[in-house]
Amino acid sequence: MQALEVGDKSLMNFRVSDKVKRSFDTLCKYNGSNMTNELIRLMRSYIDQEGIKIIQEQHNADEIKKLTSRHIKTAQKSKMDNDWYDDSKKSSKQSQRHGEWIKGDDMTWRQGG
């Protein structure tokens, strides 16, 4: 598609099949319009529809970022608030193993069985 500037308007030149052009021209004439007016109307309609979609997608992306950051902060806070998740509050210490050796509560290594 090429464009030639004429004041605040541009002349557009693009390829379209003869059959589509004839059908479009016939329908425009039938409706009392012309191809230029209808193409401009179609472009404006497309801009309006797609512009709204893009704005909505940006809004959704911003909302997702907000929710994600809030969720991460909440998840980190709840991780610290819940006794079941805090390793320092567990009553039974997990034994350390190295091969068949086990480190006991008295910090000595014993051979496991």
Looking at the DSSP assignment, which residues form a beta bridge with residue 20? none
Query: What domain count does the chain have?
Result: 1
Stated pTM of the model: 0.47
The residue range of the domain holding 16 is 2-82
Cα distances (Å, whole numbers) of residue 113 to 108, 109, 110? 16, 13, 9
Predicted confidence at residue 110, as pLDDT, reads 77
In a domain, 64, yes or no: yes
75: Cβ–Cβ under 8 A, 6 or more apart, which residues?
none
In a domain, 87, yes or no: no
Cα distances (Å, whole numbers) of residue 88 to 85, 94, 105? 9, 11, 16
Coil, helix or strand for 32?
coil
The answer to whether the beta carbons of residues 1 and 12 sit under 8 Å apart is yes
In a domain, 32, yes or no: yes
The one-digit pLDDT tens for each residue of the chain (113 residues) are 566 665 788 888 999 999 999 999 999 999 999 999 999 999 999 999 998 888 888 888 888 888 877 766 655 655 555 555 555 555 555 667 766 777 777 777 777 75
